[in-house]
Amino acid sequence: MKILVASSIHQSAIDRLSESHEVVCAFGAPTDELARLIVDCDALVFRSGVQITADVMRAAPNLKLIIRAGSGMDNIDVPFVKQQGYEFVRIPGPGARAVAELAFTLMLTLARKVLIADNLLRKGRWAKHEMTGHLLQGKVLGVVGAGNIGTVVGQMGHAWGMEVIGCVEHPSEQQAERLAAHGIRMVDCDEVFRSADFVSIHVPLKESTRYLVDERALSLMKPTAFLVNLARGGVVDEQALYRALTEGRLAGAGLDVHENEGEGKISPLAELPNVVLTPHIGAGTFDTQIQIGNIIVETVESFVARQAEAAATAQAK
């Protein structure tokens, strides 16, 4: 097979794929370059940071297999994928723990004023008595989007001794039972914003979730609450968030994802001391990327084996 790898994946996976296949790497390439490189490819591997448009996929008449090395689908034309009948494989599992751990990194950094304390100490200020923070234990953790990643966040919150509430897009008795098994009480979205001391966002970006966290949602939150977003930048209205933070209607925010991402882009929240910003590193751990790489290789080899078996069966007939 010829495989186009459009995003950075672990080198060990590229090396293993290259043993049996022709691998073309074009990490973060623009769509016109991807369209040129994919022409004679059978498979495509991608993460965030690239746009997989219908035109890109249409340029590859032999394309059969698409692997999303993660969970998000906001940067690929999903209707076109379904229309063409490509085998589309997502790998959400390994990244869930990494994203959940970063959610707690952001929550703890905000609750204990770590960035402020660090900055003052580097300037010689011993601000010990100004840095009184908050425990996570005993607080209400609200998970907006209690799916794969959100459930792991909820489990971790439960283990920290937090009261965990969460909402899902399509609530049902079965969903409530599933979440309860992980220590999460299902409520509606407004109740999450209204009751939580920490709100953690984990929904996909689509039309129904764009600016889900808007002026109205933020107005429901306690002025002592913290918001963390590890979903997608477009889920949070950053201008509304800026106003809530500067007007004292919210205690702080941590964002790993941003409306405008990439080199040279500066968040409108960058000037605020009660904000923690990271560059979309949620799934960026060595452990996670090795696991994802292994699954990519297994997925490709399984696909090739099934194709060979189908060809042999057809020939036998």
pLDDT digits (tens, 9 = 90+) for 219-276: 999 999 999 999 999 999 999 999 999 999 999 999 999 999 999 999 999 999 999 9
Q: Look at residue 72 in the predicted model and tell me its pLDDT.
A: 87
Contact between residue 286 and residue 103 where contact means Cβ atoms under 8 Å apart: no
Q: Look at residue 311 in the predicted model and tell me its pLDDT.
A: 85
CB atoms under 10 Å from CB of 19, counted, come to 8
What are the two backbone dihedrals, phi and then psi, of residue 196, each rounded to the nearest 5 degrees?
A: -80, 145
Low-confidence ranges of the chain (pLDDT < 50): none
CA angle at 261 for the pair 95 and 59, rounded to the nearest 5°: 80
Catalytic residues: 232, 261, 280
Q: Look at residue 167 in the predicted model and tell me its pLDDT.
A: 98
Q: What is the pLDDT of residues 106-134, one digit of tens each?
A: 999 999 999 999 999 999 999 999 999 99
Q: Which three-class secondary structure state does DSSP give residue 238?
A: helix
* 43-46: strand order across its sheet: 22-25, 2-5, 43-46, 65-68, 87-90
What pTM did the predictor assign?
0.91
CB atoms under 10 Å from CB of 164, counted, come to 27
Residue 233, CB-side half-sphere exposure with 13 Å CA sphere = 21
Residues 6+ apart with CB under 8 A from 30: none
Contacts 24+ apart (CB under 8 A), 213-220: 213/144, 213/237, 213/240, 213/241, 214/240, 215/240, 215/243, 215/244, 217/189, 217/190, 217/193, 218/193, 218/244, 218/249, 218/250, 219/244, 219/249, 220/190, 220/193, 220/194
